[in-house]
Amino acid sequence: MPELPEVETLRRDLLIHLPGERVAGVEVLRSDSVGYPADPAVFSAQMTGQVFSDRMLRRGKYLLLYFEQGAAMGVHLRMSGRLLWRRAEAPLEPHTRVRIPMASGHELRFEDMRVFGRLWLIPVGVPPERVMGGLARLGPEPFAEMFDGRYLAGRFAGRNQPVKSALLDQQLVAGVGNIYADEALFSSGIHPALPVGGLDAAALERLHRAVVKVLEAGIAQRGATLRNYTDAQGINGNYAGTAWVYGRKGQPCRVCHSLIERIRLAGRSTHFCPTCQCAQQSVQ
């Protein structure tokens, strides 16, 4: 699933291409790719004629692309979604679900192989949280001032959940997923299976700094392409090639040369270095 760095890369790409573009029409090729309005014909009619503004926001893994008239298009890519900027005459990608042609001759396409992603049209004056229910449940942004070691201590106190599983909770912090959770835990020297309630203050400060650091690195590398993710031009991200542990089972650690291990925690594949992230470290 695209995580914060991938969605932020996409936001920055769209900010280059979309402002000032007028929607000439909308073709919904798969109705369940539209979350609101429920009727794809209404979605298409209300989108047509809208002009994209330069107000394009990211909240966790969600995008909010505002129009000059005040409405907005919400986007969640989920597992395999992509937003692609194409010339209208370019061949369609095989899993294109929604086409949004522009008056300029360009086209914004929503492609989604697994059909978990969604587009929403948020009417003028309606809070996005009322249309996109997941927004209301998100925790703070990782780059927000309130997200620090003390915040983590308060949220983790008395809990036995593995720290890797806790980091994937979008109500704890918005935008961190499987890739960057593994990377942050390696960077902070914390074993992913350790219970969060047993982490000391120093470990929590390291973890906070590591989450911010790996997300910034992911943005700088324009995201990580493992399966489906690309930027708005269809180009792969570069982070996966420099990852410390994620996707590197059986390969030598870039620090100590121990072999990277993979386990499953709460059903999610989890990568770590057994030496750099010894389970006896960072506990009270």
Q: State the binding site for DNA.
A: 95, 114, 159
Q: Is 213 among the residues known to form the active site?
A: no
Active-site option among 2, 5, 40, 192: 2
Q: Is 2 among the residues known to form the active site?
A: yes
Say if CB 7 and CB 58 are below 8 A apart.
yes
For 281, residues 6+ apart whose C-beta sits below 8 A from its C-beta are 189, 190, 191, 203
Structure tokens that stand for 7 in this block = 């969605």
Helix axes 4-17, 201-220, angle to 10 degrees: 40
Q: Is 140 among the residues known to form the active site?
A: no
Distance CA 17, CA 183 (A): 31
In this structure, what DSSP letter does residue 188 have? Answer: H
Sequence ranges of the binding site? 95, 114, 159
Active-site option among 3, 6, 107, 183: 3
Range list of β-strands (E), the chain: 27-28, 34-36, 52-59, 62-67, 72-76, 81-87, 96-101, 106-112, 118-122, 261-265, 268-272
47 residue type, one letter: M
Stretch (H or E) spanning 15: helix 4-17
Active-site option among 11, 58, 59, 61: 61
Say if CB 124 and CB 53 are below 8 A apart.
no
Q: Is 127 among the residues known to form the active site?
A: no
In this structure, what DSSP letter does residue 65 have? Answer: E
Report CA-CA distances (Å) from 33 to 73, 134, 204, 207, 239.
Answer: 13, 16, 39, 36, 28
Distance CA 250, CA 59 (A): 35
Active site residues: 2-3, 61, 268
